[in-house]
Amino acid sequence: MLIGYARVSTSEQDTAAQVVALKAAGCELIFREKASGGRWYRPELHKLLGQLRKGDVLVVWKLDRLSRSLRDVLTLMERVQERKAGFRS
């Protein structure tokens, strides 16, 4: 299953453009979040990671929607790999 993650940093921003792109990419389930990419605690992202199963693919519109921190991106990729899932940006 393709699972999308859409994130914006502020309440003034909207995830609509990301959601359209994720649906066009074939995502069946999309998690949306309004939180800074510099924060590790993002409930929707962690909920998504908890639902990833073998063969699933985490999809983001752009890599910076996942995190602004390279260290966090690498940690997240390890978690995706541990679940034998894939990643696409």
Indicate left, alpha or beta for 33 from its phi (over 0: left) and psi (-120 to 50: alpha): beta
Global model pTM greater than 0.85: yes
Total residues belonging to the chain: 89
> Average pLDDT for residues 4-11, to the nearest whole number?
91
What pLDDT does residue 39 have? 66
pLDDT tens per residue, range 50-89: 999 999 999 999 998 988 888 889 999 999 999 999 999 9
Mind telling me the catalytic residues? 9
How do beta strands 29-34 and 2-8 pair? parallel
SS (H, E, C) 21-84: HHHHCCCCEEEEEECCCCCCCCHHHHHHHHHCCCCCEEEECCHHHCCCCHHHHHHHHHHHHHCC
What pLDDT does residue 38 have? 61
